[in-house]
């Protein structure tokens, strides 16, 4: 099974392959479909490989959190906003946000569905809280840095709001009550929504 969750390498290492496969399984079947044996079979690796690297289901889910965070950061780092150079302006940031939202609603749809599913598990299992918290820290820190460059007086607070609003939009479009009846993601609509979210975060 080739994993759409992974983009960083054509031939991921074994731990990455396992995490990517686990993410795909959660996206397809929910947490009920996530077992060590299922990951072995879907990844095409010898039986027992997943349990060798991640002894418990909690450890396997923690690996999913880490991998999801890595992929989010890769997406953020592909943006010219994080590549250095001139300070970003609002329109450039809004355009980058809209591009990320469109990507996560289309080619990255499965990854986002898995992320929402896995986030609920962290809310129920105290053993997973620390892993889940760490996974969310880096994207928020990067958002805070961009907002600081735009002049936000409290960039960390603004980043928390902005990430929450983007997550809310993603959830509504992917899993909300009207998700199945919505048309295909519209880049122009997402650009307008991104401008409004950014203006509100900087207000």
pLDDT attached to residue 150: 93
Percent helix, percent strand, percent coil in the chain, to nearest 5 = 75, 0, 25
The C-alpha atoms of residue 148 and residue 88 are separated, in whole angstroms, by 10
Supply the Cα-derived Rg of the chain in whole angstroms: 18
pLDDT attached to residue 82: 53
Q: Mind listing the domains of the chain with CATH numbers?
A: 64-202 (1.10.357.10)
Specify the pTM. 0.84
The residue among 30, 109, 19 whose CA lies nearest residue 64 is: 19
- List, for the chain, all residue ranges whose pLDDT scores fall below the cut of 70: 1-11, 80-87
The residue among 40, 31, 62 whose CA lies nearest residue 132 is: 62
pLDDT attached to residue 4: 45
Q: Which long-range contacts (CB under 8 A, 24 or more apart) does 189-193 make?
A: 190/98, 190/101, 190/102, 190/105, 191/94, 191/95, 191/98, 193/98, 193/101, 193/169
Q: Give the DSSP H or E segment for 122.
A: helix 109-124
């Amino acid at each position: 099974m080739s994993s759409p969750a992974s983009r960083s390498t054509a031939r991921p290492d074994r731990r990455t392959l396992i995490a990517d496969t686990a993410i795909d399984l959660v996206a397809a079947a929910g947490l009920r479909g996530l077992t060590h044996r299922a990951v072995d079979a879907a990844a095409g690796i010898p039986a027992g490989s997943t349990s060798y690297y991640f002894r418990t289901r909690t450890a396997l889910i923690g690996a999913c959190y880490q991998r999801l965070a890595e992929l989010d950061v890769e997406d953020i780092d592909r943006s010219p906003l994080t590549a250095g150079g001139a300070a970003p302006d609002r329109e450039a940031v809004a355009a980058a946000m809209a591009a990320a939202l469109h990507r996560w609603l289309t080619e990255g749809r499965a990854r986002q569905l898995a992320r929402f599913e896995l986030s609920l598990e962290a809310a129920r299992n105290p053993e997973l809280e620390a892993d889940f918290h760490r996974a969310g820290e880096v994207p928020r820190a990067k958002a805070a840095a961009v907002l600081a460059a735009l002049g936000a007086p409290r960039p960390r607070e603004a980043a928390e709001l902005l990430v929450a609003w983007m997550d809310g939009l993603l959830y509504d479009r992917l899993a909300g009550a009207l998700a199945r009846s919505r048309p295909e993601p519209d880049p122009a609509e997402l650009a307008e929504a991104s401008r409004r979210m950014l203006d509100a975060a900087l207000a």
